[in-house]
Structure 1
Amino acid sequence: MGFFFSYLKSRKRSIGIFFLFCIIFLIVFFLYHLPLGAVVYPAFVCAGLGGIFFACSYYKTYKKHVRLKELSKLPASVMEGFPRAVSIEEEDYQELIQRLREEQTRLKNDMTLRYTDWMDYYSAWAHQIKTPIASMRLTLQNEDSPLGRKVLEDLARIEQYVEMVMAFLRLDSDSTDYLIREYEIDDIVRQAVRKFSGQFINKKLRLVYEPLHRKITTDEKWLLFVIEQILSNAIKYTPEGGMVSIGMEEPCTLSIRDTGIGIAPEDLPRIFEKGYTGYNGRMDKKASGIGLYLCRRICRNLGHEISAASVLDQGTCIKLTFRSSPVE
């Protein structure tokens, strides 16, 4: 019914002209004192022909409307089969749409090519920079001194920043290499803990962790990245002598708690926003506000949930919730 009234509104000029002509004929016939039958019969004939024309026009317009609605649900790049243009105006509109589609396709191809170039460059850069990092790590392997440990810690931080850049770029890539299957969560957690073992020792942090005995359906590489980001923040914002605990809550939630400086209540709802650093980030000039944003994006892609709870000056708890089954 809505389309019918819209159609009448679009044809109001033609309908108005038709009735205007009818009135003119009535006035002329009245002024010349012609018989009423000579007026009524032609009026009915005209009305009948006008009704047939109106019905045909309405049917064609409705079919065109339905077809355009179907096309509107398709991506612009695959829109084909526009209804045949029946007026110069429609031909002009279709030509304009075609030009816009061609321009959109060209811009999309340019952006894809540019994105591919950037990905290739950063991928090559990431692999190349890992070589001197590995060389420096090997050189410092036997350097058991405060300076050596500090340099190793900085190297680990550089590696983490490189991985963060690559994760940021790959998230929007069509070729993101997810490998979803069942993993024992202990294997993933141990990898993350092992990576930060030196920082735990340097800051004299106590780690509370017992085997979790759970299997989860996830991607090992991406979940490992998330856990590493959470542990990195826990270590960064926990003062020397503090504690970091890793445990499992029911039904299947991995919790990582620390006894750090906590997060201000006004900052807590926004910590997963891109680029948001809050009070802690302003105090720590090196904070980028990207780590937790990437964690949320990755968790959404994997079908997991990430949440945070914190009390200022007491600590923070980050929780990862996913489906699992007990280890047999």
Structure 2
Amino acid sequence: MRDRHSLGMLLQYVRDRRKVILMFLLYQLIFGAICALYQLENLDKLLYGVYISIFISLCISVWDFTEYADRIVKTEEMCSNLENVIELLPQATDRKETQYQEIIRGLYEDMQQLQFNTNLKESEMKDYYSLWAHQIKTPLAAMRLMLQNDEKEISSYALQEELFKIEQYIEMVMHYLRLESMSSDMILREYRLKDIVNQAVKRNAVLFINSRLSIDIMDFDCKVITDEKWLLFVIEQLITNAVKYTPVGGITISLEKNNNKEWLVIQDTGIGIKSEDLPRIFEKGFTGYNGRFDKRSTGIGLYLCKQVLDKLSHRIEVFSEVGRGTKACIDVSVRTF
């Protein structure tokens, strides 16, 4: 097997060096033809020089083949050990090999970065799914307790709220998965902002009923170029957060104009956000003080809102004061296509 491999390597060497070999043979033929045509004297002495040049060429070829075989062996070793390919690269012998090795190093670095990003996303996905599984158990357990209650009458609103939470968790994970390919899922056109807000409030109605919070939607007329489904998701998330952290009082939704821009404002009278937490509320997985207080918080909701709004070219700003509430503002200024 080894002899066959060596023979194959020799044949490959001849194929790779065929131009040089053919050129050498052509020179010898030309030299021999000239000697024969002109019947040069001292032909034996001239042929002696030819024999010496052939011998030297064979020696150089043997040396070159040895280096060639060594590089082939190293290349095969690299192919079987791609993780350490950079360490196994042989010393470049010419400019072309140097350039090829630079390309290999660049591709290797790109591959390492891609692998790192893939592993990071996989790890984040596993962490999120694990947290999501624990989250969804809470409303399921609450519904089971209600159904096992000895009392005959079960509040339909209470069941609807737990069912709504399950639907929200499912919707959030679906949007989380589609975030990477969001651009292909968007349908940008002009919508009436009030219609989208009304949809979001209607879908969250059960939360307002059970929490006994007021909802005040100011009268405004504004058209916005956006994707209805994704903007609706963001407004729902902001409303849900407002309800979650507002024990008493209510939520106001209005349109404010500032510096020639229109802002959709969702304001609550809740517990507020600490000033040191505000700069990080859009970070993935960040829950802050309120999140540690509420064990169900994942730190994903506001992160998704920021990512979605960035892709829709809408800015979001959040202002808050502990004990006085939070104000989330979305830039919905009319834009042309």
Task: Give the shorter-chain TM-score range.
Answer: 0.5 to 0.7
Structure 2 counterpart of 1:92, from 97, 103, 106: 97
Structure 1 counterpart of 2:322, from 307, 312, 325: 312
Letter in 2 for 1:280: N
Once the two structures are superposed, residues 179-235 of structure 1 have per-residue CA deviations (whole angstroms, 9 ceiling, x without a partner) of 111100011001100111011011111111133211011111110111000000001
Once the two structures are superposed, residues 275-310 of structure 1 have per-residue CA deviations (whole angstroms, 9 ceiling, x without a partner) of 111100000011011111111111111111101111
Please give the root-mean-square deviation of Cα atoms over the aligned residues, in Å: 3.5
Question: Whose Rg is larger?
Answer: 2
- Which residue number in structure 2 is paired with residue 41 of structure 1? none
Once the two structures are superposed, residues 10-34 of structure 1 have per-residue CA deviations (whole angstroms, 9 ceiling, x without a partner) of xxxxxxxxxxxxxxxxxxxxxxxxx
Distance in 2 separating the partners of 1:174 and 1:290:
17
Give TM-score, length-normalised by structure 1: 0.58
Distance in 2 separating the partners of 1:225 and 1:287:
17
1:243-254 equivalences under 5 Å are: 243-250=250-257, 251-254=261-264
1:29-108 equivalences under 5 Å are: 88-99=93-104
Once the two structures are superposed, residues 148-197 of structure 1 have per-residue CA deviations (whole angstroms, 9 ceiling, x without a partner) of 32232122112112222122222222753111111000110011001110
Letter in 2 for 1:221: K
**Percent identity of equivalent pairs:** 45
- Which residue number in structure 2 is paired with residue 167 of structure 1? 175
- Which residue number in structure 2 is paired with residue 68 of structure 1? none
1:177 and 1:264, CA in 2 relative to 1: closer, same or farther beyond 3 A? same
Distance in 1 separating the partners of 2:182 and 2:308:
14
- Which residue number in structure 2 is paired with residue 278 of structure 1? 288
- Which residue number in structure 2 is paired with residue 289 of structure 1? 299
Q: Tell whether the 8 Å contact from 2:218 to 2:252 is kept in structure 1 after alignment.
A: no
Q: Tell whether the 8 Å contact from 2:218 to 2:255 is kept in structure 1 after alignment.
A: no
Structure 2 counterpart of 1:256, from 230, 249, 266: 266
- Which residue number in structure 2 is paired with residue 298 of structure 1? 308
Once the two structures are superposed, residues 48-97 of structure 1 have per-residue CA deviations (whole angstroms, 9 ceiling, x without a partner) of xxxxxxxxxxxxxxxxxxxxxxxxxxxxxxxxxxxxxxx83422233324
Structure 1 runs not aligned, ≥5 long: 1-86, 123-128
- Which residue number in structure 1 is paired with residue 275 of structure 2? 265
Give TM-score, length-normalised by structure 2: 0.57
Q: Tell whether the 8 Å contact from 1:306 to 1:321 is kept in structure 2 after alignment.
A: yes
The 3-state SS of whatever aligns with 2:265 is: strand
Q: Tell whether the 8 Å contact from 2:224 to 2:333 is kept in structure 1 after alignment.
A: yes
Distance in 1 separating the partners of 2:252 and 2:308:
23
Q: Tell whether the 8 Å contact from 1:303 to 1:322 is kept in structure 2 after alignment.
A: no
Distance in 1 separating the partners of 2:231 and 2:106:
39
Distance in 1 separating the partners of 2:218 and 2:176:
32
Letter in 1 for 2:293: M
Distance in 1 separating the partners of 2:317 and 2:237:
14
- Of the structure 1 ranges 292-301 and 163-172, higher mean CA displacement relative to structure 2 is found in 163-172
